[in-house]
Amino acid sequence: MAAIWNLACPAEVELSGSGLSGLDGLAERIRERSAIVGVVGLGYVGVPLLVAAWAEGFGLIGVDSDPEKVKGLRRGHSHISGVTEAELGWAGDDLMWERRAQFSTDPRVLIAADVILVAVPTPLRDGTPDLSLVRSALEDIAAVLRPGQLIVLESTTYPGTTEEIVRPLLEATGLVAGHDFALAYSPERINPGDGRRLRDTPKIVAGVTPVDTELAALFYGALVEDVVRTSSPREAEMAKLIENTFRQVNIALVNELAMIAPSIGVDIWEALEAAATKPFGYMPFWPGPGVGGHCIAIDPSYLSWKVEQSLGFGIGFVEHARAVNNRMPEHVVGRIGDVLNEVGQAVRGSRLVVLGLTYKAGVNDVRESPALNVLQRLVAAGADCVYHDPFVPSVAVSGRRQSDFVKVAPGTASEGLPRLQSVPLTTELLAAADCVVILAGHPGIDYDAVVEAAPLVFDTVGVTRIRRAGNVVLL
């Protein structure tokens, strides 16, 4: 079993010895905040890390292959919902040049960084982990690696990645981890959209040697309240996958229950609310149109793939949960068909307002979004769809034809646009719809007004459930 112990026992002893060669001085630079923190991959994970490091007084080097993101961040524009422009303190800061905040598409600038955090995507390609972006980011770092740097992989990945892929890439330079440079894994645990500060979520860290662990723990101890060490990167990599598999499996459980509950005469929402009153041994999860984003929809498959490689079979829970969650968009469209049928309508030709296209409430992320999948299926079935999403100004939907319906929302998309645009949520639009379909429960939307104005509402996320209005049907 992995040993876990807390930052309460800092390891000055390990970090101050004379045997540390290239790493001598790094701990001091971190403590004094004179260290420069480089972040590779300036997305949902990378930008909050930049913000946290800057707030602590570190200099910054941000690197991303996307020139638009680099340009925007340099000017202080946030492309991440939940990170306000006010938090991008380097733009307009008089101290900018003193403290060095630099953004570039050229990874060679990382030679000046003391600490380099890697937060590039780890997608699936045909169901198989695709670590090509991790590899290319690490190859870029290897090209500038010098003694005295701390490199930390933050991207979510399967156990063994840090030791079996990242370490050899960096040590091919001739420099040695734990001696010349430090190497650690620290999974990111942010939950975009929930408003929680990075500082308040404990950070798991594990180096490839105890020295690497202590340097990483020292650095993250500056950014967060609690640092949790595991004895090797494998346990830290696994911990992240356990967390997201736990969510995927529990969401699939309530989704499967939601699918069968009507057939046994049960209101699943009421039953889940009642279950959630148990003060111990239960954690509430709620049904929805499926799972999406870059984590829950992907990470458990990294784990199952790794197990399959080693044992010849995947993880049954993960495979079943994936199948249940992937079936949800189709189930939702079937339920919409039933609901319309009840009022004498077919899906084809019905006028639908879709509310929320992101994979969850309060974010601007449509990656793997089941809501988009539902919208696409409704359009393919011939429904006349418009959507409103305060976080998604426009979206590509194939086969969409514009109709008179959209004209009741003034100033919206015109005929022939390749992308569908978010329409204003007016009383007229809601009243003209055959059904309003809620797929993400974004904050800031007046759901009372929606229920009031729309003739029929199909709510897949339960945001209208406390109203128990006669024109609302829950998933």
Ligand X SMILES: NC(=O)c1ccc[n+]([C@@H]2O[C@H](COP(=O)([O-])OP(=O)(O)OC[C@H]3O[C@@H](n4cnc5c(N)ncnc54)[C@H](O)[C@@H]3O)[C@@H](O)[C@H]2O)c1
Among residues 135 and 320, whose Cβ is nearest to ligand X?
135
Among residues 157 and 373, whose Cβ is nearest to ligand X?
157
**Contact with ligand X (CB under 6 A): which of 59, 72, 192, 356?**
192
Task: Tell me how far the alpha carbon of residue 69 is from its chain's centroid.
Answer: 17
Tell me if residue 295 is catalytic.
Answer: yes
Please tell me which residue in 9, 295, 385, 435 is annotated as part of the active site.
Answer: 295
CA dist 26 and 16 (Å) reads 10
User: What's the min distance (Å) between Cβ of 236 and ligand X?
Assistant: 13
For position 253 contacting ligand X by CB under 6 A, the verdict is no
Supply the angle between the helices 316-342 and 370-380 in degrees, to the nearest 10.
40
Asked if 181 contacts 150 with a C-beta cutoff of 8 angstroms, the reply is: yes
For position 63 contacting ligand X by CB under 6 A, the verdict is yes
Q: Given the rule CB under 6 A, which of 34-42, 91-99, 398-406, 443-451 is the region that contacts ligand X?
A: 34-42
Q: Which distant-in-sequence residues (6+ apart) come within 8 Å of 52 by Cβ?
A: 198, 199, 223, 224
For position 122 contacting ligand X by CB under 6 A, the verdict is yes
Task: Report CA-CA distances (Å) from 250 to 193, 287, 359.
Answer: 20, 10, 17
The residue type at 109:
V
User: What's the min distance (Å) between Cβ of 14 and ligand X?
Assistant: 28
For position 115 contacting ligand X by CB under 6 A, the verdict is no
For position 361 contacting ligand X by CB under 6 A, the verdict is no
Classify residue 35 by its DSSP letter.
P
For position 190 contacting ligand X by CB under 6 A, the verdict is yes
Asked if 102 contacts 50 with a C-beta cutoff of 8 angstroms, the reply is: no
- Torsion on CA atoms 242, 243, 249, 254, rounded to nearest 10: 160
Asked if 76 contacts 62 with a C-beta cutoff of 8 angstroms, the reply is: no
φ/ψ of 353, rounded to 5, equals -105, 120
User: What's the min distance (Å) between Cβ of 228 and ligand X?
Assistant: 16
**Contact with ligand X (CB under 6 A): which of 51, 137, 254, 340?**
137
For position 82 contacting ligand X by CB under 6 A, the verdict is no
Supply the angle between the helices 46-55 and 210-223 in degrees, to the nearest 10.
80
Sites for ligand X among residues 144-163 (CB under 6 A):
155-156
**Contact with ligand X (CB under 6 A): which of 35, 44, 72, 287?**
44
Q: How many CB atoms lie within 10 A of CB 58?
A: 26
Among residues 248 and 350, whose Cβ is nearest to ligand X?
248
For position 237 contacting ligand X by CB under 6 A, the verdict is no
Task: Report CA-CA distances (Å) from 381 to 346, 347, 352, 404, 417.
Answer: 10, 7, 12, 18, 20
For position 142 contacting ligand X by CB under 6 A, the verdict is no
For position 41 contacting ligand X by CB under 6 A, the verdict is yes
User: What's the min distance (Å) between Cβ of 283 and ligand X?
Assistant: 19
Concatenate the DSSP letters of all residues of 377-433 into one string: HHHHTT-EEEEE-TT-SEEE-TT----GGGGGSTT---TT-SEEEBPP--HHHHHH-
For position 121 contacting ligand X by CB under 6 A, the verdict is yes
The residue type at 201:
T
For position 40 contacting ligand X by CB under 6 A, the verdict is yes
**Contact with ligand X (CB under 6 A): which of 119, 215, 254, 361?**
119
User: What's the min distance (Å) between Cβ of 302 and ligand X?
Assistant: 9
For position 42 contacting ligand X by CB under 6 A, the verdict is yes
User: What's the min distance (Å) between Cβ of 45 and ligand X?
Assistant: 4
Instruction: Count the site residues for ligand X by CB under 6 A.
Output: 26
For position 173 contacting ligand X by CB under 6 A, the verdict is no
Asked if 328 contacts 289 with a C-beta cutoff of 8 angstroms, the reply is: yes
Q: Which letter, b or e, does each residue of 277-311 get, where b requires 16 or more Cβ atoms within 10 Å of its Cβ?
A: eeeeeeeebbbbbbbbbbbbbbbbbbbbbbbeeee
Q: Given the rule CB under 6 A, which of 37-45, 257-265, 275-283, 353-361 is the region that contacts ligand X?
A: 37-45
Q: Given the rule CB under 6 A, which of 60-68, 108-116, 160-168, 375-383 is the region that contacts ligand X?
A: 60-68
Active site residues: 295
Binding site for ligand X (CB under 6 A): 40-46, 63-66, 69, 119-122, 133, 136-137, 155-156, 188, 190, 192, 294-295
